[in-house]
């Protein structure tokens, strides 16, 4: 039982490049979330999903897109990376609505130059 | 708008001291959670409190949910270097939402 896994762990992009971050969970959780964590800003919700095939915007969705084609996977895409998207990205999953007991992945550290 | 205010933002203490971290809001939450995050890792859930006035203990850690379910505190007794980390509070279920609202965290350093 791996819990929540994220790939890649580290990535450096040039401005304008695109990439996809992959999150996978093996706990059969319905709810999945993408956050970014920046110094002094805490964890901010980018997008989330309440079930397979559904997505919704969080607090800071601009510049990001997501897809939840399979229940266990939640993808975060950056179509044209900007330096402001330099951050640590965390995926989380939950089995109870209202956000109870979210389980986090180890994070992806992204640098955009 | 930051719905959950944590204080203090930074705390550096000596091994064996006691400490309290606070998490305050003007909003009511149906649950409140505390997470600990170590450098280079994701947050790990410590506890969930759901009832106003609830107190939960986890070894040397005591968590309390305010009577009005708007605030919480985390008290650590006889802190150890292994307690070092970023402590995050998060409120859930506000207005029936599926989302959590996180505080900005308290960075705790326990010196040997």
Residue B63 sits in a domain whose CATH number is 2.60.40.10
Nearest residue to B38 (alpha-carbon basis) of B105, B91, B100, B102: B105
Average pLDDT in the B53-67 region?
A: 95
Pairwise CB contact (< 8 Å): A42 & B105 = yes
SS (H, E, C) B2-36: CCCEEECCEEEEECCCCEEEEEECCCCCCEEEEEE
The domain of B92 spans 5-111
What local confidence, expressed as pLDDT, does residue B92 receive? 84
How far apart are the C-alpha atoms of B31 and B56, rounded to whole Å? Answer: 13
What does the pLDDT average to over B29-35?
A: 92
Q: How many domains does chain B have?
A: 1
pLDDT-based confidence at residue B99 (cuts at 50, 70, 90): confident
Weakest mean pLDDT among A99-108, B46-55, B95-104: B95-104
Instruction: Please judge whether A58 and B99 are an interchain contact, meaning their C-beta atoms are less than 8 angstroms apart.
Output: yes
Residue B3 clears pLDDT 90, i.e. is over it: no
Q: Residue A83 above 70 pLDDT? A: yes
**Six token digits for residue A99:** 């956000």
A/B interface, count of CB pairs below 8 Å: 64
Pairing of strands B10-14, B106-111: parallel
Percent of chain A whose predicted confidence (pLDDT) is above 90: 87
Residue A50's closest chain B neighbor by CA? Answer: B98
Q: Does B38 touch chain A (CB under 8 A)?
A: no
Does B2 score more than 70 pLDDT? no
B-chain residues within 8 Å CB-CB of A105? 42
Q: Does B42 touch chain A (CB under 8 A)?
A: yes
Mutate to test the interface with A, among B98, B101, B104 (most CBs of A within 10 A): B98
pLDDT in tens, A42-76: 899 999 999 999 999 999 999 999 999 999 999 99
């Amino acid at each position: 039982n791996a819990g929540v896994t994220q790939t890649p762990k580290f990535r450096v992009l040039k401005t304008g490049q695109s990439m996809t971050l992959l999150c996978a969970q093996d706990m059969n959780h319905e709810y999945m979330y993408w956050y970014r964590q920046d110094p002094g800003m805490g964890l901010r919700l980018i997008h989330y999903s309440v079930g397979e095939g559904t997505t919704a915007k969080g607090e800071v969705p601009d510049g990001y897109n997501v897809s939840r084609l399979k229940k266990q996977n939640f993808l975060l895409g950056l179509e044209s990376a900007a330096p402001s998207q330099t951050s640590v990205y965390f995926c989380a999953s939950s089995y109870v609505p209202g956000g109870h007991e979210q389980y986090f992945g180890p994070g992806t550290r992204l640098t955009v130059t | 708008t930051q719905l959950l205010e944590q204080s203090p933002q930074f705390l550096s203490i000596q091994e064996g001291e006691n400490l309290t971290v606070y998490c305050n809001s003007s909003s009511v939450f149906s649950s409140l959670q505390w997470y600990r995050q170590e450098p280079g890792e994701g947050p790990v859930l410590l506890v969930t409190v759901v009832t106003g006035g609830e107190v939960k203990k986890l070894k040397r850690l005591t968590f309390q949910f305010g009577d009005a379910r708007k605030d919480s505190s985390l008290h650590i007794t006889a802190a150890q270097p292994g307690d070092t980390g970023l402590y995050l509070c998060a409120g859930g279920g506000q207005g029936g939402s599926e989302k959590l609202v996180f505080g900005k965290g308290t960075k705790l350093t326990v010196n040997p």
